């Protein structure tokens, strides 16, 4: 199985790492193991191509199917996560409103990992 990930997650993937995925139209969750990582990111999309080996003994998988890949990243119990709607993109940076002493102040932040609805703040 071939799939792509944003280049910013390059350090989170290694050959031999397990993946899970679902296939549109099926209720099953499937598993595979990363077997190869393209050494360079695509210049246009800034994504890395990943190849995983997936067993298909029961022939439930069909080539070309749309999948949703789940990769487990390292966890940081001290990570500051905020709702993704709280990020305000500007021309140069990303900002959040921080309230101190009852007043809001815009603060430039650096973001890290994302979930469906939250973003990690790694600096700012």
Closest Cα partner for 122 from 85, 91, 89, 96?
96
In sequence order, which residues have a C-beta less than 8 Å from that of residue 121 and are 6 or more positions away? 80, 81, 82, 96, 109, 110, 111, 112
Q: What is the mean pLDDT of the chain?
A: 91
Q: 8 pLDDT band (50/70/90 cuts)?
A: confident
| Per-residue pLDDT at 27 exceeds 80 | yes
Query: What letter does residue 29 receive in the DSSP assignment?
Result: E
Rounded (5°) CA angle 42-44-47: 40
Token couple for 41:
């990111």
| Per-residue pLDDT at 71 exceeds 90 | no
> 94: which strand partners?
89, 109
Q: 77 pLDDT band (50/70/90 cuts)?
A: confident
Mean pLDDT of 22-27: 90
Q: How many residues are listed for the chain in this entry?
A: 124
- The confidence score (pLDDT) of residue 56 equals 92
Mean pLDDT of 40-61: 93
Closest Cα partner for 68 from 10, 115, 114, 19?
19
> 34: which strand partners?
52
CA separation for the pair 16, 22 (Å, rounded) = 19
Q: 12 pLDDT band (50/70/90 cuts)?
A: confident
CA separation for the pair 108, 102 (Å, rounded) = 19
Mean pLDDT of 27-39: 94
- The confidence score (pLDDT) of residue 99 equals 93
């Amino acid at each position: 199985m071939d799939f792509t990930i944003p280049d910013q997650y390059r350090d989170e993937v290694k050959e031999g790492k397990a993946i899970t995925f679902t296939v549109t139209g099926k209720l099953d969750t499937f598993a595979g193991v990363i077997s190869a990582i393209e050494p360079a990111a695509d210049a246009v999309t800034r994504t890395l191509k990943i190849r995983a080996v997936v067993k298909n003994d029961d022939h439930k998988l069909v080539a070309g199917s749309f999948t949703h890949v789940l990769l487990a990243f390292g966890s940081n119990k001290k990570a500051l996560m905020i709702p993704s709607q709280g990020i305000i993109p500007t021309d140069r940076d990303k900002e959040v409103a921080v309230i101190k002493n009852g007043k809001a102040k815009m603060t430039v932040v650096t973001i890290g990992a994302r979930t469906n609805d939250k973003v990690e703040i790694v600096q700012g």
